[in-house]
Amino acid sequence: MAYVRGMESSQFVELIPFASLLGIEITVASPNSVVGTLDHRADLCTTADILHGGALMSLADTTGAVCAFLNLPAGARTATLESKTNMIRAVKGGTVTATSMPVHVGRSTIVLQTEVRDESGKLVSLTTQTQTVLT
């Protein structure tokens, strides 16, 4: 595990109670890339045992927010301004992995892109989000 801003990557989820509730795990956390995982569970599904799109979006939002946080100036905080997700394929089992990377780090906003992939490496969803920089 890497230490960033005095925290182990797995500790970031502790700051986000909803992410803990979903079972999201952060495995890599750096200003250049944040990786998180979410296991398929029946209570996170829609019909036909398909992982709910909201769960996928929450995973992407969480990894994106952590990535934005790691790119903030000292003393600043962040919140999601806008988020758009394209759903590519259904997930009927296993673990999905989200990788968030900054596209733009500015003084007032940070734009991130997150790919969520299934266990076979196939793209499940693609999210672009804008985080505000609050000083």
Nearest Cα to Cα of residue 38 among 14, 20, 12, 17: 20
pLDDT level of residue 4 (50, 70, 90 thresholds): low
pLDDT at 1: 40
Amino acid at 37: T
Number of neighbouring beta carbons within 10 Å of residue 89? 13
Classify domain 3-134 by CATH number: 3.10.129.10
What ranges do the domains of the chain cover? 3-134
* CA atoms of 67 and 118, how far apart (whole Å): 21
pTM confidence score = 0.93
Q: Which tokens go with 44?
A: 């996170």
Q: What is the pLDDT of residue 15?
A: 83
pLDDT (tens digit, 9 = 90+) per residue, 10-54?
788 888 889 999 999 999 999 999 999 999 999 999 999 999 999
| Residue (of 93, 18, 89, 28) closest to 59 by Cα position | 18
